[in-house]
Amino acid sequence: MTVIKNQIRCRVNNKSIVWDAFFKSDREKKPLVIFCHGYKGFKDWGSWNMVAEAFSNQNLFFIKFNFSHNGGTIEDPIDFPDLEAFAENNYTKELTDLEDVLNFILSENFQFKNEIDITNITLIGHSRGGGISIIKASEDKRITKLITWASVSDYESRFGSNDEKNEWYKNGVKYVLNGRTKQQMPHNYQFFEDYEANQKRLNIQNATRKLNIPFLIIHAVEDPSVKYMEAENLHSWNSNSKLFKIENSNHVFDASHPWEKDKLPETLNLVVEKSIHFIKNTCS
Any domain includes 242: yes
Q: Please state, in angstroms and rounded to a whole number, the distance separating the CA atoms of residues 219 and 211.
A: 19
3-state secondary structure of 217: strand
What is the rounded CA–CA span in Å between residue 228 and residue 11?
37
Give the CA count within 13 Å in the CB-facing half-sphere of 5.
12
What pLDDT sits at residue 27?
85
pLDDT score recorded for residue 95: 98
Angle, helix 190-197 to helix 91-105, in steps of 10 degrees: 70
* pLDDT recorded at residue 189: 98
Sequence length of the chain is 284
Sign, CA torsion 139/127/59/17 = positive
**Residues whose CB falls within 8 Å of the CB of residue 248, separated by 6 or more in sequence, listed in order:** 220, 221, 222, 267
Cα separation, 142 vs 249, whole angstroms: 33
In a domain, 80, yes or no: yes
Q: Is residue 169 part of a domain?
A: no
Distance separating alpha carbons of residues 44 and 173, to the nearest angstrom: 28
179 belongs to a structural domain: no
User: How many Cβ atoms sit within 10 Å of the Cβ of residue 262?
Assistant: 6
pLDDT score, position 175: 98
Kindly state whether residue 189 falls inside one of the protein's structural domains. Answer: no
Q: Is residue 217 part of a domain?
A: yes
Give a yes or no: residue 12 inside a domain.
yes
Whether residue 178 lies inside any domain: the answer is no
- Cβ-Cβ contacts under 8 Å for 227 (sequence gap 6 or more): none
Parent domain of 226? 2-153+205-281
Instruction: DSSP letter for 156, please.
Output: G
Number of domains composing the chain: 1
Handedness of CA 192, 193, 198, 200 (dihedral sign): positive
Q: Is the pTM of this model over 0.95?
A: yes
We report the CATH number of the domain holding residue 6 as 3.40.50.1820
- pLDDT number for residue 202: 98
CA R_g for the chain:
18
- Are 184 and 176 in contact by the 8 Å Cβ rule? The answer is yes
Phi-psi region of 70 (alpha: psi -120 to 50; beta: other; left: phi over 0): alpha
Ordered per-residue pLDDT tens for the chain, 284 residues: 999 999 999 999 899 999 999 999 998 999 999 999 999 999 999 999 999 999 999 999 999 999 999 999 999 999 999 999 999 999 999 999 999 999 999 999 999 999 999 999 999 999 999 999 999 999 999 999 999 999 999 999 999 999 999 999 999 999 999 999 999 999 999 999 999 999 999 999 999 999 999 999 999 999 999 999 999 999 999 999 999 999 999 999 999 999 999 999 999 999 999 999 999 998 87
Give me the pLDDT at residue 109, please.
92
pLDDT at 283: 82
Under DSSP, the state recorded for 71 is S
